[in-house]
């Protein structure tokens, strides 16, 4: 496989599978554009696990800021993601401020305990995956007022599902106020000394809140052209249902299976409903 854009698609199929499957419901001439956008997001998401010190992560985020601002044109042209991204921004006239918002949100990834409260948690979801969903809608030639909230629901679902993995990386992505309400503190959770039943209860409550948050967003009218950008919300709904069926126990390996079938996404696309 020598096509650079096809290689981006392959990396998404491996590392961001649900967005990749969703992109396949876009018109063939738009899929690669979505892959470029999602590959940019994947580059940012992979910074935290790839660096040992926050400063190194900040340097890499600044590099992406410079790319978006156009001050690293030479380097960007040789980069497998930055080069196509700069071209996509120009061709689709995508607002640079939206990319800067995503990068700024990703700074929180470098904090061990990034969210003081639920509002900060939701804001992170909106600013990262929510902004990405809005950009994806623009790439598809559509607008969607619900995109920031639907994208946020996808991000928050991912944070909940990944709690065991993140804690193993000394990264706690649950809001402090939710933990405190359950009589837990973040440091105890990171030290793997927290009462599991209480921690699972926190996840369950946040999953319920996320589902309600997403259900409100799903009531909005959606332009059919935007559906491929919003289909990850269908997968999020399935994942949240799985978490609920396990009482919030994301430490149970069953919380990661089954992966929502493409048929589920195909049905949502055909019916025009999320």
> Per residue of the chain (274 residues), what is the pLDDT tens digit?
458 888 999 999 999 999 999 999 999 999 999 999 999 999 999 999 999 999 999 999 999 999 999 999 999 999 999 999 999 999 999 999 999 999 999 999 999 999 999 999 999 999 999 999 999 999 999 988 999 999 999 999 999 999 999 999 999 999 999 999 999 999 999 988 899 999 999 999 999 999 999 999 988 888 999 999 999 999 999 999 999 999 999 999 888 776 666 778 888 887 777 7
Q: Residue 185 has what pLDDT?
A: 92
Q: At what angle do helices 82-92 and 131-139 cross, to 10 degrees?
A: 60
Q: Give the rounded distance of the alpha carbon of 19 from its chain centre.
A: 9
For residues 248 and 201, is the Cβ–Cβ distance under 8 A? yes
Furthest CA-CA distance within the chain: 54
**CB atoms inside a 10 Å sphere around CB 169:** 13
Write the CA distances from 209 to 80, 121, 212, 224, 254, integer angstroms.
Answer: 38, 12, 5, 27, 21
Q: Please, what is the end-to-end C-alpha distance for the chain in angstroms?
A: 34
> CB burial class (10 A; 0-12, 13-18, 19+) of residue 198?
middle
User: What is the pLDDT at residue 259?
Assistant: 64
pLDDT of residue 2: 58
Nearest to residue 219, comparing CAs of 167, 121, 149? 149
CA gap 153, 16 in Å, rounded: 16
Looking at residue 225, what DSSP letter applies?
G
CA dist 78 and 240 (Å) reads 40
Output DSSP code: residue 127: I
The per-residue pLDDT for 260 is: 60
Residue from 161, 158, 166 nearest 132 by CA: 158
Distance in angstroms (rounded) separating the CA atoms of residues 59 and 40 = 16
How far is it, in rounded angstroms, from Cα 138 to Cα 228?
A: 12
Q: Which fold has domain 4-271?
A: Farnesyl Diphosphate Synthase (1.10.600)
Whole-number pLDDT of residue 1: 46
SS3 25: coil
């Amino acid at each position: 496989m020598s096509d650079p854009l096809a290689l981006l698609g392959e990396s998404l199929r491996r590392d961001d599978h649900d967005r990749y499957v969703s992109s396949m419901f876009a018109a063939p001439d738009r899929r690669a554009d979505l892959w470029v956008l999602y590959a940019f997001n994947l580059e940012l998401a992979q910074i935290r696990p790839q660096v040992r010190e926050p400063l190194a992560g900040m340097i890499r985020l600044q590099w992406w800021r410079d790319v978006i601002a156009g001050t690293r044109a030479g380097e960007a042209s040789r980069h497998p993601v930055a080069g196509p991204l700069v071209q996509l921004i120009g061709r689709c006239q995508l607002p640079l401020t939206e990319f800067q918002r995503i990068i700024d949100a990703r700074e929180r990834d470098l904090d061990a305990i990034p969210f003081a409260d639920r509002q900060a948690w939701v804001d992170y979801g909106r600013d990262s995956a929510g902004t990405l969903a809005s950009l994806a809608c623009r790439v598809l030639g559509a607008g969607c007022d619900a995109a920031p909230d639907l994208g946020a629901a996808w991000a928050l679902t991912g944070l909940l599902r990944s709690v065991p993995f993140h804690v193993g990386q000394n990264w706690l992505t649950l809001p402090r106020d939710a933990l405190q309400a359950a009589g837990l503190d973040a440091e105890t959770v990171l030290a793997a000394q927290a009462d599991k039943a209480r921690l699972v209860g926190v996840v369950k409550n946040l999953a319920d809140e996320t589902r309600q948050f997403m259900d409100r967003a799903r009531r909005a009218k959606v332009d059919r052209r935007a559906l491929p950008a919003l289909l990850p919300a269908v997968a999020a709904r399935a994942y949240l249902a799985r978490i609920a069926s396990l009482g919030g126990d994301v430490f149970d390996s069953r919380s990661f299976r089954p992966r929502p079938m493409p048929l589920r996404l195909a049905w949502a696309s055909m019916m025009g409903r999320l």
